[in-house]
Amino acid sequence: RIIRQPNLYLGAARNRAAREAKGDFFLFMDDDNLAEPHEISTFVRVALRTGAAILTSAQRDFEGKEPFRADEGSSYVFAPLGPAISTGVIHNFFGDANAFVRRDALEATGGFREDRSVPCEDWEFFARAVLAGFPLETIPDPLFRYRRSRDGMYASTSLAAGMLRALRPYREAFPSLSGALLLTQGKFAQAEAFWREAGGTRHELETTRQELEATREQRDRVQNILNQKERDLWKARDELSRIHRSRIWRLGVRLRRWEQKLREARRALFPRLGGPER
């Protein structure tokens, strides 16, 4: 069933889906996720065996706007840490929003906060649930594929605002540590910004290297063509020289000379008739 509503952002959309659903578990997915065939069965099996209230999994990343092709594979796999409360202050190591969530855990934590145009609502929800004592586990098997895009959500929203949002459960649980938590997250955000900038520089260098390599390959192709043309020219010269040295060629030259002398003699003998050329 497809449910439509005004764009109230991700938190509101997920809460609406949970209210409309009838089951005891929810599988949240985004439009940049592509489920593997065994994703749902694996989530259900692990949830029933472990009793986990929230399950996340590893993911395979791919890029581009073209439809995904299974034969292209993937060069990057991200495996979250799971219920990592300490490192969850500085980064979402809990897992992706593509998660399997039990109804009681979602309702007890108040669902997703519905901040508009602020990312990291999944990070905030995971942190609040783990701090509330709900067991979160992660499956190391990549159960879905995630499309990376330079013009995706993070390109149009503030990552800093999202990180502050994700810090709210910690500040609510440990109000006396609020300042230290903010400082820790700020320092990590600064380091991450430098890392992203360095990554952008590395990407530009790699692009330049590839363009230079392509230019070299094109230059080599042109040079090979020129070398082949030069070899063909020398072959033609050799053939022409061979013809010049042949007896038939020399005989032809003699015949042309005698023909020229014959014409001159006829003009001398028959000047009024204009020679045999008349």
- pTM for this structure? 0.65
Options 3.90.550.10, 2.40.420.20, 3.60.20.10, 1.20.1250.20; CATH for 10-173 is 3.90.550.10
Domain boundaries, the chain: 10-173, 177-233, 246-277
* Series of mean pLDDT values for 10-residue runs along the chain (278 residues): 89 94 94 92 96 96 72 74 87 93 96 91 95 96 87 71 86 79 64 64 78 85 88 82 70 78 80 54
- In sequence order, the 6+-apart residues with CB closer than 8 A to the CB of 10 are 30, 97, 112, 121
Q: What is the pLDDT of residue 278?
A: 46
Q: What is the pLDDT of residue 89?
A: 84
Q: What is the pLDDT of residue 84?
A: 87
Find out whether 20 and 103 touch, Cβ atoms under 8 Å. Answer: no
Q: What is the pLDDT of residue 43?
A: 97
Q: What is the pLDDT of residue 106?
A: 96
How far separated are the first and last CA of the chain, in Å rounded? 101
Residue 66 per-residue DSSP state: S
